[in-house]
Amino acid sequence: MMPHRAGLRRARHAAAVALALGLAVVAHAADRQWQTGTWTDVSVQRQMMEFGPGVTPFDRGRRTSSMRAMADVGVYVIETAALRLELKEVRPINKPGLDAIVGQPVTFALERSAVVVRGDDGLEYKLRVTKKTNKLRR
């Protein structure tokens, strides 16, 4: 076999894999069960965060090799007729985050311990769920 054909075959294979992965991402986004709600609380605070290989909640008394850095921590609340979700987003200081305004509608999808929010800019933001309250069971 000629080296030229082997290169072409590899390039076709790589293109096919990239296309399949792209379709899988689009299909996953379409599979989400999108809901609508309202932003009821939005706040962003700067916090010193620990990260790295030595970070664990079980090492309170020992010194570990962790690193520290300032981060923006966004705390958001979404409410629907049946659900109240408290969410958290940690991001670097200079990176723009989700632009949420209290009282405005929001489109979101709940996925286990995370929520994917569609921003006004067309991007999707993944936030960690810190508290989920079912408002119908009171």
Q: Do 47 and 112 lie in a common domain?
A: yes
Q: Do 4 and 48 lie in a common domain?
A: no
Distance CA 74, CA 43 (A): 6
Mean pLDDT on 81-99: 90
Residue-range definition of the domain harbouring residue 80 = 33-134
Q: Do 23 and 37 lie in a common domain?
A: no
Q: Do 117 and 73 lie in a common domain?
A: yes
Distance CA 98, CA 103 (A): 15
Q: Which residues contact 82 (CB under 8 A, 6 or more apart)?
A: 134, 135, 136
Q: Do 60 and 114 lie in a common domain?
A: yes
Q: Do 57 and 114 lie in a common domain?
A: yes
Number of domains in the chain: 2
pLDDT at 79 over 70: yes
Q: 34-43, 94-103, 116-125: which has the highest mean pLDDT?
A: 34-43
Instruction: Give 73 or 10, the one with higher predicted confidence.
Output: 73
CA-closest candidate to residue 91, choices 52, 125, 122 = 125
Per-residue pLDDT tens for 22-69?
A: 544 444 455 899 999 999 999 999 988 877 665 555 555 555 566 788
Residue 22 C-beta-side C-alpha neighbours within 13 Å: 6
Q: Do 12 and 50 lie in a common domain?
A: no
Instruction: Give 92 or 2, the one with higher predicted confidence.
Output: 92
Q: Do 6 and 63 lie in a common domain?
A: no
Q: Which residues contact 95 (CB under 8 A, 6 or more apart)?
A: 72
Q: Do 119 and 102 lie in a common domain?
A: yes
pLDDT at 70 over 80: yes
The verdict on pTM exceeding 0.75 is: no
Q: Which residues contact 63 (CB under 8 A, 6 or more apart)?
A: none
Both tokens of residue 127? 């936030």
